[in-house]
Amino acid sequence: MQSTLPSLFIVGPMGAGKTTVGKLLAKHLGRDFIDSDHYICEQTGADIPWIFEKEGETGFREREARAIAELTALPNVVLATGGGVVMQPQNRDNLTKQGITIYLRANVDVQLKRTAKDKSRPLLNTPNPRAVLQSLFDVRDPLYREVADIVVETGDGYPRYMLKKIIEALKQHYPEHMKS
C-alpha cells in the first residue's frame, strides 16, 4: 500500500533535476509536492538571488534550515531540497530521521548543461561555473551519500525516465510499501 510509504526527500546537486523529477514523482504517487527553495521564497517574499544579495549565503542557510525542519516533519509528501541542504548537520539529521532520502546524482557536465541558461542560482553567477560545480561536488557527494537511502544516477535520461528509475528503486528497496 502506497499510503504507508514515508515522506520522500530528494537531494543532489544543482541541475540534477530534483525540482523537475520531484514534481513528477509526487504526481505519480498522488502526494503533495513541496520544493524547499520555493517555500523559502514564499516565506521571505523574495527570490533566491535577492536573499543571497541582502542576507548573504549565511542568511539563506538559516532560512533553509528552518524550512527543512518544518517540511521534513510533514507526512506523505515529496520534498525537493536545494543542492546545499546537506552542508548543515541539523538538515542531514532531519533528512535521515524523518523519511526516505533519494540522492539524484548527476555529473558536472550534466549539471553545467542544465544550469547554463538559468540565472537564478547565485553560486553559479561566476566566470567559471564548472570549477564551482566541481568543488561543490567534491565536498557534497559524500554528504549526499551519507543521508541517502537510495542513489539514482541521472545520465542523459529524460525526466520521465528518471521517474521510472526512482519508482523501480523504491519497489526494490521498499517492496512492502510499493505493492501496485
CB of 177 to ligand S3P, least distance (A): 26
The answer to the question of whether 37 is labelled as a binding residue is: yes
CB of 141 to ligand S3P, least distance (A): 12
- Phi/psi for 127 (5° steps) reads -65, -25
Whose cell is 541582502? That residue is: 54
| Among 91, 99, 71, 69, residue whose Cα is nearest residue 143 | 91
The answer to the question of whether 19 is labelled as a binding residue is: yes
Cite the beta strand spans of 19-126 per DSSP E: 32-35, 77-80, 100-105
User: Which of ligand ADP, Mg ion, ligand S3P, none has residue 123 at its interface (CB below 5 to 8 Å by kind)?
Assistant: ligand S3P
The answer to the question of whether 119 is labelled as a binding residue is: no
Binding residues vs ligand ADP (CB under 6 A)? 12, 14-21, 80, 114, 154, 157-159, 162
The answer to the question of whether 17 is labelled as a binding residue is: yes
CB of 56 to ligand ADP, least distance (A): 21
Give whichever of 50 and 158 is closer to ligand ADP, judged by the CB atom. Answer: 158
Cα separation values, 38 from 1, 24, 77, 167, 176, Å:
30, 16, 15, 24, 32
The answer to the question of whether 15 is labelled as a binding residue is: yes
Give whichever of 18 and 105 is closer to ligand S3P, judged by the CB atom. Answer: 18
Question: Taking CB under 5 A as the rule, does residue 19 contact Mg ion?
Answer: yes
Whose cell is 546537486? That residue is: 13
Joined grid coordinates for residue 27: 504526481
Q: What is the DSSP letter of 177?
A: T
Stretch that binds Mg ion, among 5-13, 18-26, 67-75, 86-94 (CB under 5 A): 18-26
Joined grid coordinates for residue 150: 537510495
Binding residues vs ligand S3P (CB under 6 A)? 14, 18-19, 37, 48, 82-84, 121-123
User: Which of ligand ADP, ligand S3P, Mg ion, none has residue 48 at its interface (CB below 5 to 8 Å by kind)?
Assistant: ligand S3P
Q: To 10 degrees, the CA torsion angle through 17, 19, 21, 25?
A: 160
